[in-house]
Amino acid sequence: MRTADRARSLTFMESVIETKGLTKRFGERTAVDTVDLVVPAGVAFGFLGPNGAGKTTLIRTLLGLTRASGGEFSLLGLPQPAKRRQALARVGAIVEEPKFHPHLTGRENLKIVAAARDRAAAARIDDSLERVGLAHRADDRVKAYSLGMRQRLGIARCLIADPTLLILDEPMNGLDPAGILEMRHLIRAFVGEGRTVFLSSHLLDEVEKTCDRVAIVDQGRVILQGAVGEIGADGEPTLVVDVDDVAAAEGALAGETRISRIEAEAGRLRLSLADGLGAADVNRLLVQAGIAVSRLEPARATLEDTFLAVTSRLESNE
Amino acid sequence: MSLVSAEILKLVRRRGTMAWCAILTIGSVLIAYVILISLHAANPAHHGPAGGRENLKNLIFLLGGLANVAAILIGSAAGSQDVSSGVFRELVVTGRPRGTLFNVRLPGALAVLLPLVATGFGIAVLGAFALAGDRPHPTGSEIWHDAAYVLSITSVDVALAIGLAAFASSRVVVGVLIAWNAIVSHLLISITSLGGARKFIDVAAAQHFLPPGVNDRVIPMSGVTAVVILLVWAAVFQRAGRWWVLRRDA
């Protein structure tokens, strides 16, 4: 499908993945717990969570690799599992580490999967290999490939489907810094072509740099979802203050009830502000107490801050 | 490329397995003829010509046993290679029904095995005529019996191996089926108190197609019964394997 066609078709599709109460249990253990998730079309969507949070199980359930224990879901607007074949024909996926027949070459491995896809898939093999930079090694046996090359071959295998939706489970695993950067550029290029990329990862920084929207998952539950910028901006404003006497500054601010938290480190205070307290108010309090302020800067709440806050909140509730 | 062609590609690129299968099906016949020719050349008075109908009977019995091992090797590889390499998961996420992914294994494996077996069989028959000397040539009926025996025993064992490989690793499948074919089934066939029940053993049914005089312990049954029994064995194992492939987590 051409990029323009894909973009046009996406305008009629509000979400590419939608789950309602999706649940997967393994005996007594609930790996995916009544998940409601909406992945809009045409974005890079980060599915963020610590190891063992249920990310891969959710992906396996979406792809029909394991049966859901409850709830319902759709892929590309098609109800699953009823319209599984039609939906997966337009989905490319890497689940955990991409697997191949080690005794076959990279090209032969793609031929094997192309045989299971539509007739046009085989014609896309060369372009896919070229795109991920493996054309020169395509006729080497996969057992001679590095993990990074296998990741790239996995992406090439996704591309032979000309997918509308790419589901990538921890695609940065095993990549060196250059490979991570290359993968990030590839993902953004896919989004630029009108594809949707659903990216699961435990690497906060990568999700923040790569994705437009994000869902944070822990212990099988989706805790937060929204635009990366919105989620990062959630929570109390934080102020970083460099002072000459940290102990005295801490004492001077201790009585201010609109400061909900004070963290002291070498020559620096990190303050969580509430009820409209601003940087100028803090500066005034410190100066009035005779403390020299050398730096006063609002700290941008990162996705990492939010992630750690919500996951630790979850732990403290148990 | 069709899914069956993909199965063939996966199998023929297994160099070790293919080398062993070629040795078992073609190499064994060639080696047997080399030995027979050498013996005849060394002592023509004591060892007759290497060809002829009697030598062909013995060669077919040998080929049946060894091609049977080749069938198990290829069948177990065809039945287990996608799961053991982790590629089954990658095939499932294409949306192709799991049943289809399982169903193409048998024709793929037969497409690899049967040309090898046919070549070995062809060499055996050719040698039986070319090296017969003053010995009688095999008849058309005998050749038909020989072909039916080799074809039935190998085809059924491919189906059995593929079905069983859905549940166990290829090594286990190879061990179990070789033990069954070489030891257990023959022990059961030799237990006369089992009477007519022995005809339900697949090896006994396949032996029905052996030319008369090759094996004295052939259980009497009609050709139709033998074919039905072999088909039922193949169908049961294929059905079981397919059932598990449809249900297992990929």
Q: Which residues of B touch A101 (CB under 8 A)?
A: 10, 13, 81, 85, 87
Classify residue A264 by burial, with Cβ atoms within 10 Å: 0-12, 13-18, 19+: middle
Task: Count contacts between A and B (CB, < 8 Å).
Answer: 81
Q: Does A156 touch chain B (CB under 8 A)?
A: no
Q: Strands across the sheet with A268-273, in order?
A: A259-265, A268-273, A238-243, A293-299
Query: What's the whole-number average pLDDT of chain B?
Result: 93
- Average pLDDT rounded to a whole number, residues B172-184: 95
- To probe the interface with B, which of A60, A86, A103 has the most B CB atoms within 10 Å? A103
Q: Which residues of B touch A116 (CB under 8 A)?
A: 3, 6, 91, 94, 96, 101
Which tens digit of pLDDT belongs to each residue from A51-72? Answer: 888 999 999 999 999 999 999 9
CB proximity under 8 Å: A 159-178 to B: 161
Name the residue of chain A whose CA is nearest to B92's CA. A65
Q: Does A87 touch chain B (CB under 8 A)?
A: yes
Residue whose C-alpha is closest to residue B77's, from B176, B185, B183, B164: B164
- Average pLDDT rounded to a whole number, residues B28-41: 96
Residue with tokens 């940290």: A246
Cβ neighbours of residue B18 closer than 8 Å, sequence gap 6 or more: B11, B12, B112
Q: What local confidence, expressed as pLDDT, does residue A318 receive?
A: 45
Which tens digit of pLDDT belongs to each residue from A4-47? Answer: 555 445 444 589 999 999 999 999 899 999 999 999 999 999 99
Q: Does A75 touch chain B (CB under 8 A)?
A: no
Question: For the stretch A78-102, what's the b/e string if a residue is b when 16 or more beta carbons lie within 10 angstroms of its beta carbon?
Answer: bebbeebeebbbbbbbbbeebbbbe
CB nearest A114 (choices: B1, B92, B250) = B1
Q: Does A88 touch chain B (CB under 8 A)?
A: yes
Please report, in tens digits, the pLDDT of each residue of chain A (318 residues total): 555 555 445 444 589 999 999 999 999 899 999 999 999 999 999 999 888 889 999 999 999 999 999 999 999 999 999 999 999 999 999 998 899 999 999 999 999 999 999 889 999 999 999 999 999 999 999 999 998 899 999 999 999 999 999 999 988 887 888 888 989 999 999 999 999 999 998 888 888 889 999 999 888 899 888 888 777 665 667 888 999 999 899 888 988 888 888 888 888 898 888 877 888 889 999 999 999 999 888 776 667 777 777 775 555 544
Q: Does A143 touch chain B (CB under 8 A)?
A: no
Where do the DSSP E strands lie in chain A? 15-26, 29-40, 44-48, 70-75, 78-80, 91-94, 165-169, 196-201, 213-218, 221-227, 238-243, 259-265, 268-273, 293-299
Q: Tell if the CB–CB gap between B9 and A116 is shorter than 8 Å.
A: no
Q: What local confidence, expressed as pLDDT, does residue A228 receive?
A: 84
Name the residue of chain B whose CA is nearest to A26's CA. B249
Cα angle A28, A30, A32; round to 5:
160
- To probe the interface with B, which of A112, A141, A155, A159 has the most B CB atoms within 10 Å? A112
SS3 B201: coil
Residue whose C-alpha is closest to residue A56's, from A194, A209, A167, A205: A167
DSSP string, B140-177: HHHHHHHHHHHHHHHHHHHHHHHHHHTTS-HHHHHHHH
How many other CB atoms sit within 10 Å of the CB of residue B130?
13
Question: What are A79's strand-pairing partners?
Answer: A74
DSSP state, B42?
H
